[in-house]
Each structure stands twice: as C-alpha cells, then as structure tokens.
Amino acid sequence: MGKSTWGKGMTLAILAVFVLLAAGPALAQDTIKIGFSGALTGPAASFGVGIRRGAEIAVDDINAKGGVRGKKLQLIVRDSEHNPVKLVAQHRELVEREGVVALLGGTNSAEMLAVAPILNDQLKVPVICPATDATKITENDAWQEGRDNYVFRYGMFGRGQSNFLVNMAVQRFGYKKAALLTWTAGWGVTGRGELTRRLRELSTPLVADETYDTADTDISPQLLKIKQAGGEVILNYGLVRENVYVVRAKDKIGDKTPYFSAWGLATPAFWRAGGNLGEGVLVSTTITADGPQPPERLQFLKKYWQRYGPDMDFVPGTFAAHDIVHLYAQVMEKVGTDPKAIRAALENIPAFKGLVKDFKRPVFTKSRHDALQEEDFVLGRWTNGKLLQVHFDQEGPHVILDDGAKRYIDKKTLALR
Amino acid sequence: MRFLVQIVLSGIATGAIYGLVAVGYSVTYATMRVLNFGLGMWVMLGAMVGYTLHVTFGLNVLIAMLGMMTVLGGLGLLAERFTVLPFVRAGSDVWIMSTLAVGLLFINAAELLWGRNPLAIPPFLGKDPINFAGIGIYPQEILIVIVACAVMVALDVFYQYTLLGKAFRATASSTEVAGLMGINTRRIASLAYALAGCLAGFAGLLVAPVTLAEPQMGTILGLKAFAIAIIGGLEAGRGIFVCGLLYGVLEGLLSGYLYTGIRDIIGFTLMILVLFVRPNGLFGRRAEERA
Amino acid sequence: MLSVDGLRVRYGSLEVVKGISFSVREGEIVTIIGANGAGKSTTLRTLAGLLSPYQGTVMFRDRKIGGARPYNVAALGLRLVPEGRQLFPDHTVRENLELGAYLRLWRGERTGVAKDMEELFELFPQIRPRLDQRAGSLSGGEQQMVAIARALISQPRLLLMDEPSLGLAPMLIQSIFDALIKLRSRGLTILLVEQMAWLGLGVCDRGYILESGRFALEGSRDELLRHPRVLEAYLGKTPRS
Amino acid sequence: MRHPAAWLLPALAILAVAGLPLMLTGTYYQFMLVIIFVYVIVSVGLNILTGYAGQFSLGHAGLFAMGAYTSALVSKNLAAIGFLGDMGLHIWIGMMAGILMASLFGAVLAYPSLRVRGPYLAMVTVAFGWVIWKILLEWVSVTGGELGITSIPKARFGSFVLDTPRFYYLAMALALGALLLQRNLVQSAFGRKMQAIKFSELAAASVGIDVYRSKVTVFILSAAFAGLGGALFAHQQNFINPDNFNFFDSVFFLLAILFGGAGTLLGPVVGAATLTLLPEFLHGFDHYRLIVYGVLILLALYFLPRGVCGAVTRGRRSVSRPSSVKRRTEPAATALTTGAKHGDQPLLEVRGVSKAFGGVRALDGVSLNVFPGTVHALIGPNGAGKTTLLNVISGVYPPDSGKILREGEPIRMRSPDRAARLGIARTFQTVKLFGDMSVLDHVLVGFERHYETGVGGALFRSARAVRENQGKVAEALGLIEFVGLGGLEGAAANSLSYGHRRLLELARALAVRPGLLLLDEPAAGLIAEEIDALDRLIVELRGRRMTVLLVEHHMDLVMSISDQVTVLDYGVVIGEGAPREIQGDPRVIEAYLGPSHHHVVR
C-alpha cells in the first residue's frame, strides 16, 4: 500500500516538475535568437543534426568576434520528429515564446509546406531552408500572389535539381533511354514528378518507372525490371539506407547500369554503410567536401572535426547552415533585428561570400527565393570513400584524385579509366 | 522466368527472417499468454550489440553471436521480471503498453550509443554474390535461410526431445498442472521471455549484414513479424515459420509484378481477411468463454 | 505427516473452507467426503499450493507449506492428482510420465525412473500399449490411470487424490479403487477426496465429512459407513410438508 | 440532492479554459490547446470503445485520418467548383462527410475486428490503421502522398472566418460537446449495456443483449468521434499529411486514455493534455525523449493502473443516481407480473437432447417437462450434465440433437441473448456480475429487452429517454428491495458480500421479466441464514406464478421448495418425481454414494 502511494506521488511529482519547467519564464532578451526546428531523432535525424552543427559553429564564430551589434547570437533548437504539426507548433513557440527573429528551415518538405503559409500570414519571421527541396516551399501562395514571402532556400530545390540531373545524364553523358528508381516517401515522390517532367521536356524516353519503399531490403526485382526494359541510366531520388540496398542489389544481380542520384547520397554515411559498393555512384549536390578544397572550407572542416569528430552526416546541409547564419548576421548588422526588416533586406543583398558559393550577384531577389540555381549545382562521384567533384573537358567527364591525377569516367559503367 | 526465380529467392530470404522473429512472439505467447510488443526493438538491439562485439571488438562472429545472446537473454530476464510480471500478476493486459515502452527505451538507447546512421556489418561468409544463369544471390542470404531453418529445427528438437522443452510445453498447456509436477513455472516464464529476446536478437544479427543495423530497423520488421505470427496462429511455431516464408515470397511477387507501394496494402488487407475467416489464425485453435 | 490447523480459504469474498483441522499419519488413507460445493477440492488445491489459505497453518513433514508455490510443495514430496485428470493432452503418455518424474530426471535419476515406470505398468497394464499416443486421445479411465501413474512416478510421500471416480463408468471406478487398495498395501499415504461416499469411505482408515466448508463428522471407516448423517448430507433432510 | 459545488467546479474550469486566449498572447498556446481539444475528441471516442466497452483498438489513427482527409478533400473540391462557398457551407459539409466516412470505415473495421479477441483484435486494428496510412502515402493523385494536402479552407460562416482565437472556441465547444455526449452515453441504458459487455459478454447476453450488434454500434460511434476530431484537425492545420496518422499515433491515443484513466469521464482530457504538452516540456531532453516517454509509461502503468483520473476518483463510482428518483413503495409491481398461466401444457419441454464435448457425452437423450408456475429442481452428482442442460436451454450451446419447445412451439436457440428475448433468464454457477458497476446499474441492464429508446436518445438525452430511464430506475429499485438488497443500490457489485452477489444476479435475471427462470446453484457458498432467505424468495416467486428450473446441490433447499425433481447421472435421467419419492429411490442413492461398499472392501 505504502509503495503504491509513494509511486503515485512520485509519478505526479515528475509531471509537476515538467509543468514547472515549461512555465518558467523565457530568458530575458539580451541575445539575438535564431531558431531551428527539424528532425533530431528518428530516421531523418542525421539531417537535423548536421544543420544544427553547421549553425552552431557559425554562431560561435560570430560570437567570438563580438556578435552582432554587440549582442551575442543564440541558437534555439527544437526536435520536430519529422512531423509537420510538431514543426508548426514549434515555429510558433520559437517565435512567440522564445522571440527568435530568424529561422533555419526544417528537414522534411512536408514540414516546410505546412509552415510556409503560417510564416507568411501570421508569424512573419523569415526562414531559410538548407535542406528541404520541394519547389513549392519557396514558390508558395504568397510568392504567387506577389505578397511578402518569408520563405527562402539555400540548397537544392526540386525543379533545379531534377533539371540538373536529367541534363547531366542526357546532355553531358548522352544516355538515350532513362529509368527512374525513386523512394515512395515524400522526397522521392516530388523528385519522381520533376524528373519525369524534365525527361519529357527533353523528349527522352522513360522506359521504366520503379519505386522502393522504406521497408524494401531487396531491390533486385525493380532493378531487373529496369534491365529488361533496357534503361541506360537510372535516376534516383532517395536516402542512404534504401540506396545501400539498391547498390547491393545491383551487385547481387551483376547490374552495371549507371546510377545517378539526387543529393540524399551526398553524405559520408552512404559510404560507411554501403562500402565500396557505392563506387561510381554519381550524386548531384551543392558542395563536395572531399578532394581539393579552398582554405575557408578546410578551416570549417577542421573546426567540425575538432568539435564533433570525423563523421559529417549531411555535408551540403551542414555547410549551408553555416552560410545561412552568416547571411543572417550580415543582414542584421545592417538592418537590426526586426524580422520584417530582415526579410526585406534578404531580398537586397548584392553579394555574399559563403562556403558553398561565393555570390557575386544578389543572393535572393523578390521573385527568386532560391539562392542556389541549376548552374550552381555540382556533380560528385563516389570514389574510394570520397565524393569527388566531376569536371568536364573535351575528352569528357573526369575527377581529380587526391594525388592530383586526372581520371576519366567511362560512360557505360561509370568506372574510372 | 529468371525474374520470377530471382524474386522468389529474394522473397524466401526475407521471409525466413520474418518467420524467425515471428516465432519469437509465439514462444512467450504459448507459455504465458504474453506478447512482447516491442520485439522488433530486440531484433535491432541484437544487431547493434552484435555490431559492437563483432565489428568494434573484432570478435569472431560465433563468439559475438553467443555474447550478444547472453546480453539479450539477461535483458530478457530483467524485462520479464520488471515490466511483464507485475502486470500479469495483477491480471491486467497493460503489458501491451509496457513491452512497447521497453522497445521505445531501446530505440533511444541505441540512438545514443550507436548513433542514428546505418551501420554495416560484414557478411559472415563472403561478400561476393553467387551467380548462376544470371540469377544472383548473396552467400549471407543463403546462410540466413539455412540458419533460420536450422534454428526452427533446433527449437523443435528442444520442444520435443529435451526435458526442459517438454516442461515449456507443459507450462503452455496448463501452468497450474505443470506446477503440480514440480516444474518451476515462474522460471519457465522468465526463460521463455528471454528466449524470445534471444531469438529476436539472433535474427537481428543474422540479417544485419543484408539490411544494415540502425535504431529504426526493428520497427517495421517487428510489426510485420507480429502480423505473420497472428496469421500463423500464435501458438503454432512451425506454422508461423511457414507463414513467414510465404509472406516473404508474396511480398516479392507483389513488388515484382505490381509495385512496391501496394505490397503492404494488399498484404495487411489479406491478413485482416484471413482473421475474418479464421479468427484464431491459420493454424490456431478456438477458445471460448465458459459458462 | 500432514497436519492442518484452522484452515480457511476464500475466493474473493466467498469463504469456501471455513476453518477445518485434520491430520494424516504416515501410511494411512484418509478420505474426505461431502457433496458438491462443500469445499473438498478447494482444500486439496490449497494443500498443493494452487490456492493460498486465508487463515490457518498447513504443516507437511514439519515444514510450513501454507501459501507456498505448487512447484515448491511438489518438491517436498506432496503430489496432487487433480480433479478431472488434467493430463497434458498434446504430450504423449510417456511424456506425461516423464513430466511427472520431472524433478527426479532433473536430478539425473534416469535409470530409477525407468525401473519405476516398469513397476507402474504392472499396476496399470493398460498404460503400456498407449505409451506413444497423445494423452488427450485416451479414454477417461485410461487417463485417470496415467494421472495416478504420473503422480506415483515422482515417488511422493503423500498422494492427494481429487475425485478419482469423476465422470468414469462404474466398471472403471472399480479398477481405479482396486489400484488404490494395492497402493495402500504398499504403504503409500493417501489423502482422498471423493463425492461418492461409500466408495471413498470403503478404502480409507479414517474419514471426514465436509459440509459447507466445515467438518460435520469424523471417525473411523466403520463408524462413518453406518452413520445416517452421511445419507442426509447428500440427499437432504426429509422435506417439510 | 447535489451539492452546488458540483456544478461550480466544472463551470469554473470551463470559464478558465475559455478565458485562456485572453490571457495568453500569441498563437502558440492557442494552437497547442486546439490540438489538445482535437485529441480530446478522438480520445473520447476511443475511451467509449476501450474504456467503457472494453475493446482495444490500435488503429484509431486510421479513422482519425478518414475524417481529416475526407473533410479536407470534400471542402477543398467544393470550394474549387464554387459550390456553397460563399456561405462557407462547404466546410461544414466537408466535416459532416468526414464524420460519415469515418463511421463507415468504423463499421468496415468493426465487422472483422469483433470476430477476434485479445492480440488478434489488436492486430486487426493495427493492420487496418497501417493499410489506411499506406493508402494515404501511395494514392498520390488524391491524397498528395507524403506532401499531403495544402491550403485546406479555413472554417467560416459567410465572411466570418474562424481564425485562430475563434477557431479555439469552436474546438473547445466541440470538445465539451464530445465530453457531454460521452457522459450522456455512459449514463444511459446503452452505456450500461456496453460496460456490461466489457465485464462479461456471456452475462450480458443472458439478459438479452445482442453483444455483436452492440459492439459494432460502439465501434461506429467511436469512429464518428475520431472522424470529427480528424475534420477539425484538418481545418485547424490547413495542411495534412500522413505523418500524423500512423501506427504511433494510434498508440498515442491509446496511451492517452490509459494514462488519463480508461473508463473515466475526464480521463481523455487529462491524458490528451498531458501527452500533448509533455514533449513541449522536454525540449532540453530531445535526445532522451523516448527514454523519458518509456520510463513515464512504465511508471504510470505500474503506479497508476487506473490512470490519473482512476487514481483520484478511486472507489467513487456510481453511474446512476438513485437519489434523484422517488422511491416506490409498492415492490416490484411491474417486473413480477409475468406470472404464467395455469395449465396442463408444459411451459418448457426438453425432448431427447444430446450434447457431447470431444467424445464425452455430457447429455444423452435427456427429456423433461417443466410446468408453468412450478419450481422444478434438477439434481445429480458432479459431472452429471446439469449445467450443460441449463446451458443448452439458455442458448449457450446448441444441442447436438433433440428439441426444445416453449409452450409447445419448438424454439431454435442460436445464442443466449435470443433465449433471453424469448423470456428465458438465468443465473450462473460462478456468479457473473459486471465488475464495479453499481447494484442499480446491474438491474437496469437486466431491463435490456424492455427499452424503447436507442443510441440517439442516449447521446442527446432526449426527454423520452430520460422519462423512460426514470421509470426503469423506479422499477429497478422495487426489484432490489424485493430480493433484499434495499439500500445497497449505489454499491459497486464487487464490493458486495458473496451472498448479496447471488441475490443481485437473481434481481438482474428477474429484470428480464422472464417466463422461465433458470437458477444454477443459487445456494452455493451461502450461509444458512442466506439460504433461508433464498428459500423464502423462491417460494414468493412461485406464489407469483413464476416458473423456475433450479440446479442445486443443497438438498435441504431442493427438497423443501421443489414441486418436481429430475435426477441426472452420466447425462441420463435416472429419476423423476416429487422430492419424497426421489429421496427413497435406490438408483438415486447409488448415484450419489457410489456402489455399496461391500463390493469394494475385501
């Protein structure tokens, strides 16, 4: 009897502690707060964690140099659990309770589609997305109606990425018959639509349109169907785990069809899990961290390794988050911390030197909320554990190895010559 | 034809794992009318602990397997004692929630201990696929099927020919009468729970070289295995394993000939229909409230 | 050997055994008779550890066993042949016997068990040809024999038997009780619970009549067999007019 | 008389909740509170199903999704074609459609689910939820797949748009409404019926409850609440995608009511609020969130087995309030008027009935006649087949062969509830009562076949239903008085003494207003005084021309009250006649005492 009363009391006490924690007043506003809500747990966690780390490094850099207008920056992070409703709630909380003046976008396109109208109509705080790529996130209702659009992006966007992938495969590599292999979850679905559209625009026949599911551990049936249909190139939209299954199934059935993937595979996690089965996979991305790099990037990488160890989970997002924080700092230094002013100023930045790209043009304009465009994207090739940028010359596509050797890519198998 | 053979072979490999995990459900249900609803997470934990022992510590795979099963068995005994027994004693069925809660703990613990990215465990036999007549299969997949069948046979031998196995079946038949025989039924219940955990972990480590090891790997696998255990009829071990194989092949055929997205829709609808026609599963028996 | 003092047993708020005291001495057969619902089975189930007493003490070979778990009680050498046989229906007859000898086999007495099994086949010759059949497929009488054999093979100090005649045809009842008499002659101590009074009393040394959870009468076999109260306990007093 | 504070407290709570938006600036808290309201509505539905009717569902997220998607799609498409858009009616039509669609799927889910029990039921519901979720993901052309449906119209009346603060009040009103409907339902005849089913389906059927149909009805009701919650959710979020409708959301709903207190009126509120707000409080512990969840679930299950509300209101549970009804002085006038006509034709004829269980012949060609207005006893040694015969007569088991006739008409008894509707009521050898339901509720459940108002009347507490309920309460109090439980009507059945439980079971059977009353060992476990009272009660019933078939071992009782005695042994009738004849019958004596001892002892 005593035991159960005690336990009941304890359970209720724990609850009460949580209530008190929540009711505690928000900290006084002696810092400038930037918010980020995204998946920090669950299957998409590596994206959120990568963004968080990139932003943390940038915040500390800026604070070490005295902050913005004499105030320190502070990053407030929430775990959206890959759930749009949670993300929307957390955006409200970040803005209204924490008083953040700028935001980094989430990790899931659906989340950002859900929150975009709320940011535009109610919260009116700018957000810049480093990761989510559905085209409509930035080209939302407000954008279409010409109202103030608070949603920006500093990463891949669906239309651009698909155009880039298809152009590469069809125009630069010269494949005639394409096959799609996409993930049935959100990102894969939009990618599938965009890729189909671009193939149609280029009048390239789509001979197979296969999908895979989160629970598919063996993708050989799909690959066999593609092979039977005579696909010369496979275009993929998906994430690491499923793609390890894809390259493994390719190995299993001895399939050598060239494999082009969207930026879900632009992360070392792919090589760690897939090993050298990933050799030769081509990935579209905004940035590769391997191979010869400019000094600013190397500096950033060093800081990252010191702080978080050698594994970088989501390279493009981590770099982008770093740039976004600097972008905000630059803007706020100029116009202060009013979110509306920040938003307006973002559309009028003449130039910006980021790690991902050195912008010599306005980063955003009123009609263009995607900082990076098709021509800014790069193709990477997984080469012995490194994602090396693919360059082109008269002889064709090639990569430059660490020792400076130039190796050309065989278009039939994507092997190095 | 090549296509068909390929997907059937792949289906059998997947199905063997489903079957192995599903049998874990029946081990506890048959002895004490309890299901470990978080069993999928035990699969994951088996893969993770196996990764540490085999890859990180570089132990031989058999030793790693034994070590992992010792760890999971111990956890199983603890979990039974603290999260199942109190509720079973109280005669309530909230163990559905408590076993699920333990599963949640495992996911979180795994994320903290092993990170969130998929971990690769090298195949036990060799990583090059075997090719014949254009059909490919990994040695690991063959190993999975053979070992899963072997485990089923071993389990059968245990149940049929060992004294302890007979005591398990006796406890399943009637805890009360088994107690009258001097069988420590309390201990049997704990052992059954631990055995189920071991089986799940074993399946996890066995399958990890093919599926990768990561904190979420058990969620869907556990649910599907549960579905299979139900279709098979919770108490019929062999029936469940056969169901697992069939379900694996069915999945392969569905994604091969229709498309992947529709696989679970058809599979689970079929399961509802099976239960509609046979409320206690394909191989189960009826039970009624007595007047 | 067994002494029960002031035993009370409840199911929830229903008190079924309302304070009974009795004892069983080494080598004797004691019978408890009484109509259905009098509390006979409840008493035996409590002794075997299947139920916990609400009050009272149970001593078996100088150890307190009230409230002990059934497997601990069984380990002390007290064996219950439950009402309605309760074999393991999906096990073979041989397996049922092995499970009866579970503790002995666990201790490694494989040869001893095999020898005792042979002896049991002499007592119940009907069992031998059925050894590899499912126990559930046996007839009621055969099942009862297996149930008794399953208890005997554990070499019990005290055998508790719950209504061995239940649901059996008169011919079979006869052979079961013949076996009991043989067992008594071998010096086995038995506590027998039986609804059929004349049958139960016929084999005992002493008997008790249980009525609504209390002993209405006790005495030697001959006293009880002649007592008019026995009939009344079953068929009631003469109705009022 | 209720204390004024009983009204004051809820009123204050409602006022406080209504005032919250005025105190809290910004939309965050309102947003969270609306989500809580939505979850309260869904949890109320699940509480009715799980807490009150005892049926587990791990697929409620699927029903929730049906409401959300249907409402979103219907209102969006109506808006696109401009139908009724000016008035904003398209949204309300959408919401109605959502509720209907969810109810429809509730029925679709109910039929296969209710054929199975325990883990099988859990699995069917899991599979259902999973299939719905998968369809949402895969049917991209309709549902938008994982990217979901955007720009779902906002709720409005004409140009009066229900924006955040206004929508708050709409959601609050609907949540309160749901709670009110829940209370109405639980306190109605239908509510008592479903709770009875939860505790014992057999006993519920024995008073004429069609268990299967009732369960389907409850499932549909529960689904309707989930549909309403879903529709509301869609119009609050203006965006939906499958992420909020998967297996873990189903677990969430179940957890909410288990934590809050399944089968308590406020459990859904406490559970939904706690579980929705909890993660908001855990920002510092993001990395340990599942561990915190897991530990909390375990602690709650271990220390609060009846949930928070169950722990607070422990032992204070009386669904009907007898005090609000005037007590009738005339005992049991209506309930006991079903006296039989006098006559030579038997009321019940059993003709050559046989029944075997796996090779054992429990009944072997049994025939007997029960004449109206008599007490007929059925005796025999243990295992003779008495209870089996009672079970055959009351429709629990169908006979293998033979016939049962009532007033000369052969009756086909497929189920116990059908027997009850034919006027055959019974009690059970091991008392089967409905857990902690009150004495009064037990008797009210017994009136099952005499209620005229249905679920609709129950939900909305129609005047007719209220009047009918009052009438039944009065009648029930009379019956309670009659069996001698007067003054105990508010007590929980599981707090009664054993003897009182037997009497309560009898009162419940009498509430059926049976033509034939089957009593299975009514005296078992009773003390002498209680047996005397039972004796007088049965005599009184006979005096009122009730026909009783009695299985009993207590021979003093049998011999003193029976008009006729039938003796069964090994499933065969071995004797029949007046008590005095039976006592002297040597075959009967041998059946009881065994073969004469001279055969046995050498």
Q: What is the pLDDT of residues C51-86, one digit of tens each?
A: 999 999 999 988 898 888 999 999 999 999 998 888
Determine contact, residues D476/D511, Cβ cutoff 8 Å.
yes
| Residues A54, A203 within the same domain | no
CA distance A138 to A142: 9
Determine contact, residues A356/A367, Cβ cutoff 8 Å.
no
Residue for token pair 């207005």: D373
Name the packing angle between helices B185-211 and B139-161 (round to 10°).
170
Residue A93 corresponds to which tokens in the numbers above? Answer: 């909380």
The set of chains that have 3 or more CB pairs under 8 A with B is: A, C, D
| Residues D201, D84 within the same domain | yes
- Tell me, yes or no, whether D159 lies in a domain: yes
Could you tell me how far CA B269 lies from the centroid of its own chain? 22
- Tell me the CB-side half-sphere exposure of residue D493, using CA atoms within 13 A: 24
Interface residue D597 vs chain C (CB under 8 A):
yes
Q: What is the mean pLDDT of residues D183-203?
A: 89
In chain C, where the domains are located:
1-77+156-241, 86-155
Determine contact, residues B265/D134, Cβ cutoff 8 Å.
yes
Determine contact, residues D438/D492, Cβ cutoff 8 Å.
yes
Taking only Cα atoms into account, the Rg of chain B, rounded to an integer number of angstroms, comes to 19
According to the CATH classification, is domain B2-289 in 1.10.3470? yes
Interface residue B269 vs chain D (CB under 8 A):
yes
- Our count of domains for chain D comes to 2
| Residues A221, A348 within the same domain | no
- Tell me, yes or no, whether A12 lies in a domain: no
| Residues A131, A180 within the same domain | no
Interface test with C, best of B89, B177, B238, B290 (most C CBs within 10 A): B177
Interface test with D, best of C198, C201, C203, C241 (most D CBs within 10 A): C198
- Tell me, yes or no, whether A273 lies in a domain: yes
Residue C85's pLDDT is 82
Residue D341's pLDDT is 58
Q: Which domain holds residue D210?
A: 34-245
Interface residue D128 vs chain B (CB under 8 A):
yes
The terminus-to-terminus CA distance of chain D in angstroms comes to 76
- Give the tens place of pLDDT for each residue, D383-407: 788 888 999 998 888 888 888 888 8
Q: Which of D213, D245, D277 is the last residue of a domain?
A: D245
Determine contact, residues D46/D244, Cβ cutoff 8 Å.
no
User: In D359-423, where do the E strands start and end?
Assistant: 360-370, 375-379, 401-406, 409-410
| Residues A390, A255 within the same domain | yes
With cut-offs at 50, 70 and 90, classify the pLDDT of residue C192. very high
What is the CATH topology of the domain spanning C1-77+156-241?
A: Rossmann fold (3.40.50)
CA distance A88 to D37: 17
Q: What is the CATH number of the domain that holds A68?
A: 3.40.50.2300
- Minimum-distance CB partner of C198 among D360, D382, D597: D597
Interface residue C42 vs chain D (CB under 8 A):
no
Residue A275's pLDDT is 86
- Tell me, yes or no, whether D212 lies in a domain: yes
Residue D477 corresponds to which tokens in the numbers above? Answer: 């109090």
Determine contact, residues B169/C90, Cβ cutoff 8 Å.
yes
- Tell me, yes or no, whether D546 lies in a domain: yes
Q: What is the mean pLDDT of residues B271-277?
A: 85
Determine contact, residues D281/A22, Cβ cutoff 8 Å.
yes
User: Which three-class secondary structure string do you get for C145-174?
Assistant: HHHHHHHHCCCCCEEEEECCCCCCCHHHHH
Q: Any idea what DSSP says for residue A366?
A: S
- Tell me, yes or no, whether D253 lies in a domain: no
CA angle C205, C211, C216 (to 5 degrees): 60
The set of chains that have 3 or more CB pairs under 8 A with C is: B, D
SS3 call for D345: coil
Instruction: State the smallest CA–CA distance between residue A3 and chain B in angstroms.
Output: 13
The secondary structure element, H or E, covering residue D551 is: strand D547-551
Residue D596's pLDDT is 59
| DSSP secondary structure letters along D295-331 | HHHHHHHHH-TTHHHHHHTTT---SS-GGGSPPPSST
Residue D601 with chain C: CB contacts under 8 Å:
202-203
Residue B177 with chain C: CB contacts under 8 Å:
82, 86, 88
Interface residue D360 vs chain C (CB under 8 A):
yes
Res A170 pLDDT > 90: yes
Q: Where are the alpha helices (DSSP H) in D422-514?
A: 439-446, 455-460, 463-483, 498-511
How many Cβ pairs closer than 8 A exist between chain A and B?
Answer: 103
Res D554 pLDDT > 70: yes
CA distance C183 to C145: 13
- Tell me the CB-side half-sphere exposure of residue C233, using CA atoms within 13 A: 28
Residue B163 with chain C: CB contacts under 8 Å:
98, 102, 105-106
Interface test with B, best of A107, A213, A223, A226 (most B CBs within 10 A): A213
CA distance C87 to A139: 74
With touching defined as 3+ CB pairs under 8 A, do chains B and D touch?
yes
Res D48 pLDDT > 90: yes
- Tell me, yes or no, whether D250 lies in a domain: no
- Tell me, yes or no, whether A328 lies in a domain: yes
**Mean pLDDT across chain D, nearest whole number?**
84
CB within 8 Å of chain C, chain B residues 180-219:
180-186
| Residues D432, D569 within the same domain | yes
Q: What is the mean pLDDT of residues B203-231?
A: 89
B6 Cβ contact partners less than 8 Å away, ≥ 6 residues apart: A220, A221, A224, A253, B135, B136
CA distance A77 to A39: 10
Residue B224 with chain A: CB contacts under 8 Å:
215
Instruction: State the smallest CA–CA distance between residue B276 and chain D in angstroms.
Output: 5
ipTM exceeds 0.90, yes or no = no
- Tell me, yes or no, whether D576 lies in a domain: yes
Given an 8 Å threshold on Cβ–Cβ distance, is B260 in contact with A220? no
- Give the tens place of pLDDT for each residue, A343-369: 999 999 999 999 999 999 999 999 999
CB within 8 Å of chain D, chain A residues 179-208:
184-187, 189-190
Burial of residue D584 (number of CB atoms within 10 Å: 0-12, 13-18, 19+) = exposed
CA distance A195 to A193: 6
User: In A323-390, where do the E strands start and end?
Assistant: 352-353, 358-359, 378-383, 386-389
CB within 8 Å of chain D, chain A residues 25-44:
40-41
- Minimum-distance CB partner of D579 among C165, C167, C239: C239
Residue B27 corresponds to which tokens in the numbers above? Answer: 């081990």
Residue for token pair 């302890």: B164
CA distance B276 to A221: 32
- Tell me, yes or no, whether D299 lies in a domain: no
Res B195 pLDDT > 90: yes
CA distance C20 to C6: 5
Q: Which domain holds residue A304?
A: 28-156+294-374
- Tell me, yes or no, whether A414 lies in a domain: no
Nearest to B54 by CA among B42, B69, B68: B68
Interface residue D331 vs chain C (CB under 8 A):
no
Torsion of CA A125, A129, A134, A139, to 10 degrees: 40
The set of chains that have 3 or more CB pairs under 8 A with D is: A, B, C
| Residues A113, A254 within the same domain | no
In chain A, pLDDT over 90 holds for what percent of residues?
56
Res D314 pLDDT > 70: no
Residue A208 corresponds to which tokens in the numbers above? Answer: 């197979």
| Residues D501, D353 within the same domain | yes
Res B143 pLDDT > 50: yes
CA distance A172 to A174: 6
CA distances to B64, B73, B189, B198, B199 from B203, rounded to whole Å, are 13, 14, 21, 8, 6
- Tell me, yes or no, whether A417 lies in a domain: no
- Our count of domains for chain A comes to 2
Interface residue C108 vs chain D (CB under 8 A):
no
- Tell me, yes or no, whether D308 lies in a domain: no
Residue D4's pLDDT is 56
Q: Which of D196, D217, D245 is the last residue of a domain?
A: D245
* Numbered residues of chain B with Cβ closer than 8 Å to any chain A Cβ: 2-3, 6-7, 10, 13-14, 108, 111, 115-120, 129, 131, 134-138, 210-212, 214, 216, 220-221, 224, 252, 255-256, 259-261, 263-264
Determine contact, residues C105/C168, Cβ cutoff 8 Å.
no
Nearest CA in chain B to C46: B180
Tell me, what amino acid is at A317?
A: G
CA distance C92 to C110: 18
Nearest CA in chain D to A96: D26
Instruction: State the smallest CA–CA distance between residue A183 and chain B in angstroms.
Output: 10
- Tell me the CB-side half-sphere exposure of residue D136, using CA atoms within 13 A: 29
Residue for token pair 């939505």: D38
Burial C15-28 (b: 16+ CB within 10 A, else e): bbbbbbebebeeeb
| Residues A45, A107 within the same domain | yes
Residue A205's pLDDT is 95
Given an 8 Å threshold on Cβ–Cβ distance, is A240 in contact with B255? no
Residue D17 corresponds to which tokens in the numbers above? Answer: 């909740």
With touching defined as 3+ CB pairs under 8 A, do chains A and C touch?
no
Q: What is the mean pLDDT of residues D29-46?
A: 92
| Residues D238, D342 within the same domain | no
| Residues A281, A397 within the same domain | yes
CB within 8 Å of chain C, chain B residues 221-250:
none
Res A3 pLDDT > 80: no
Residue B196's pLDDT is 92
Q: Where are the alpha helices (DSSP H) in D306-399?
A: 307-312, 386-393
Residue D326's pLDDT is 46
Would the CA dihedral through C176, C181, C184, C189 be positive or negative? positive
- Give the tens place of pLDDT for each residue, A80-95: 888 898 899 999 999 9
Interface residue C76 vs chain B (CB under 8 A):
no
Residue A43 with chain B: CB contacts under 8 Å:
116, 216
- Give the tens place of pLDDT for each residue, A117-136: 999 988 999 999 998 888 88
A345 Cβ contact partners less than 8 Å away, ≥ 6 residues apart: A331, A334, A335
User: Which three-class secondary structure string do you get for D263-289?
Assistant: CCCCHHHHHHHHHHHHHHHCHHHHHHH
C62 Cβ contact partners less than 8 Å away, ≥ 6 residues apart: none
Residue C154 with chain B: CB contacts under 8 Å:
181-182
